[in-house]
Chain A
Amino acid sequence: MSGLGHYLEQEGLATTQISLIRLHTEKIKPPRALWVPFELGRPLGAANDAVFQRRVLLAVLGLLEAEHGPVLVDYPEEAPAAEASDMEGWVCPIKLAPPPKPESPDGQLAEAMADEMARLQPWFDLAVETRGRSSLGLSGVELETARAFLLSFLGAEPAQNPLPALKPAEALRLVYDDLKAFYVDAATAQPGKASGREMQEWLWGETSFGKILFALRAKLLAAEDKDLRLAGKWFLVPSSQWDRAP
């Protein structure tokens, strides 16, 4: 991000920016930067908190009136969601059946995921109705097709690619993103202040979908297709969950 500030300023456009990784900003020295102590993925700090977002926005825009630079200022406030969550902890309000044990017969995880999605569907619908938008739509395929395609990578041969213009690894990433978006839209349909880490702990630690992603990652890491190996290594499980026991 900071490099873009240099390029634009060289072209005659003034810039100001949020910094999430202070170390990188210190090295690149963009003209104006506000470092914020917020989670990655939340540069304005908190969802559904217009007052807090406004304060952050005013702070970063205010740097445009600095007299000389480079300017790197630390934002003094913590994100409100993180503070609340630290005290109480977030629990997904939708009760799902515990995932099958890793040694369960083939097919049980797939059935469990289908059951999860059925239970999540009304909450997903509520989220869409409340927000006026969903987070789906990267792959453009129906969720059932997305689930079947993803699960097929656990078998001997992947199913026919529903996105034939794309390589299988790229299609897999997009259907995975849509399925993940569905789960998260549903889990956040009720008001609550889950941190990003709590959401990861839920998705990869408490759902059958998460267990499937771990199994898929293990399989793809040994794939012959280099793109599938990359997908297995980087796309399916966040690094914060890599050390989780199966």
Chain B
Amino acid sequence: MARLDDIDPHMRQDLIELECPRFESQPWVEGAPLAERRVAIISTAGLQRRGDRPFAWDAGDYRIILGDSAGDELVMSHISTNFDRSAFQQDMNVAFPIDRLNELATEGTIGSVARFHYSFMGATAPQEMEAATRHLAGLMKDDDVDAVLLLPI
């Protein structure tokens, strides 16, 4: 369905014409085997804890999600009405797979799961999220994270 041909014509045209940032370099960080990695999630689904500040139009800031208490308090304040939310409403793991990640850690497929995870609101241009993203890199290193799973919506 996320094939362009399957998306309605109005949105498809916007997606085709969307200006994407160009990067001069191609950074590549190597690391330990997967079984030793500590993994954090960054979502652009506009996820937040219930009661936290909803994302605003063109928001470049982020919200913190506690991995061990996401279940009953995770809601979505993304501004777009064009993508499906019904699956997320039934099972947050379809967009924020914290239960699956914890299972992989328990069985030893990955090393561990970060304590903190983060969400942006992906209707914002990436450049507007750059400063906050670089700031998050430091926070995640403090949490011993060495692998980041990026999930769009």
The interface of chain A, by Cβ under 8 A from chain B, is 1-24, 27-31, 36-48, 50, 53-54, 57-58, 60-62, 64-65, 68-70, 79, 81-82, 131-133, 135-138, 140, 170, 173-174, 177, 180-181, 184-185, 187-188, 194-197, 199-200, 230, 234-240, 242
Q: Return the CB mask of B112-153 against A: 1 if under 8 Å, else 0.
A: 000000001010001101100110111011000111111111
Asked if B1 and A57 make an inter-chain contact with CB atoms under 8 angstroms apart, the answer reads no
Q: Classify the secondary structure of B's interface with A.
A: loop
Known A1-B150, A15-B150, A138-B77; contact A41-B72, beta-carbon cutoff 8 A: no
Inter-chain CA distance A242–B62, complex, in Å, is 31
Nearest A residue to B49, CB-CB: A137
* B148→A234 contact, CB < 8 A: no
Whether B64 sits at the interface, judged by CB under 8 Å, is no
Is A3 in contact with B146, judged by CB distance below 8 angstroms? Answer: no
Instruction: Check B23–A29 contact: CB distance below 8 A.
Output: yes
Contact yes or no, B99 A237, CB < 8 A: no
Chain A residues with CB under 8 A of B21: 3, 28
B39 on the A face (CB < 8 A): yes
Contact A69 B84 (CB under 8 A): no
Q: List the interface of chain B (C-beta within 8 A of A).
A: 1-4, 7-8, 10-11, 14-16, 18, 20-23, 25-31, 33-34, 37, 39, 42, 44, 50-51, 54, 56-57, 71-77, 79-91, 93-95, 97, 99-101, 103-104, 109-110, 120, 122, 126-127, 129-130, 133-134, 136-138, 140-141, 145-153
- A42 touches which one: B76, B94, B99, B100 (CB < 8 A)? B94
Cα–Cα distance between A68 and B27 once the two chains are bound (Å): 10
Question: Which residues of the partner chain A approach B54 to less than 8 Å between Cβ atoms?
Answer: 138, 174
Closest Cβ of chain B to A198, distance in Å, is 9
> Given A7-B133, A54-B103, A184-B89, does the pair A39, B150 have CB atoms closer than 8 Å?
no
Which of B34, B83, B130, B146 contacts A13 (CB under 8 A)? B146
Shortest CB distance A31–B (Å): 6
16 A-B pairs within 8 Å (CB atoms) are namely: A4-B126, A6-B27, A7-B137, A24-B18, A30-B150, A39-B1, A39-B87, A41-B153, A43-B153, A47-B88, A65-B33, A137-B75, A138-B75, A170-B56, A185-B89, A194-B86
- CB A187 to nearest CB in B, in angstroms, measures 8
Find out whether the CB atom of A23 lies under 8 angstroms from the CB atom of B152. no
Q: How far is the CB of A186 from chain B (nearest CB, A)?
A: 10
Indicate the member of A36, A131, A174 with the most B CB atoms within 10 Å. A131
Contact A14 B148 (CB under 8 A): yes
Complex interface: chain A residues within 8 A of B74 (CB) = 133
B82 A235 Cβ-Cβ under 8 A: no
